Amino acid sequence: MADKELLDRIAAAVEDAEATPDEELDWTRHHEPAKSPTAVYSVRIPVERIEELRQLAAERGVAPTALIRTWVLAQLDAARSPDDYAQRWERDMRATAEQLRKLLDERPGAPRAKVS
């Protein structure tokens, strides 16, 4: 789903909710199975490093567990196929940069690119 379509759907839902504030909301839980099953694995981290982990996660705007998961998966990918990992990393970085560029272009008052 495109970002615009998602934003339009959210705006319509908000408008509907605001128009009928006294009505009971009909929420349905999404029952689609996970794309890939996951498992919980306990990891021991020295207590004196936990605060450092929390600070890094907060700076990045993610939960500490999400940061740990990202690091572990990145290291597993790098250990198995360094070339594939480098290519995927570069592709992900390019996609992230493109998304950031779009967000900057969409902000109010952003200069518009000239079309030739």
Would you say residue 53 lies in a domain? Answer: yes
Would you say residue 54 lies in a domain? Answer: yes
Would you say residue 11 lies in a domain? Answer: no
Q: Return d(Cα 75, Cα 67) in angstroms, integer.
A: 12
Range of the domain at 85: 43-105
Residue whose pair of structure tokens reads 């009505």 in the numeric block: 23
Round to the nearest angstrom and report the end-to-end CA distance of the chain. 29
Quote the pTM value: 0.42
pLDDT per position as a tens digit, 37-74: 888 889 899 999 999 999 999 999 999 999 999 999 88
**Per-residue model confidence (pLDDT) at position 55:** 94
Would you say residue 95 lies in a domain? Answer: yes
Domain count for the chain, please give it: 1
Would you say residue 32 lies in a domain? Answer: no
- Residue 50, C-beta contacts closer than 8 angstroms, at least 6 positions apart: 64
- Residue 105, C-beta contacts closer than 8 angstroms, at least 6 positions apart: 112, 113
Would you say residue 15 lies in a domain? Answer: no
Any idea what DSSP says for residue 63? Answer: -
User: Between vectors from CA 20 to CA 24 and to CA 17, what angle results, nearest 5°?
Assistant: 80
pLDDT per position as a tens digit, 68-114: 999 998 888 777 776 777 788 888 899 999 988 888 888 887 776 66
Please determine, for residue 34, whether its predicted confidence score (pLDDT) is greater than 70.
no
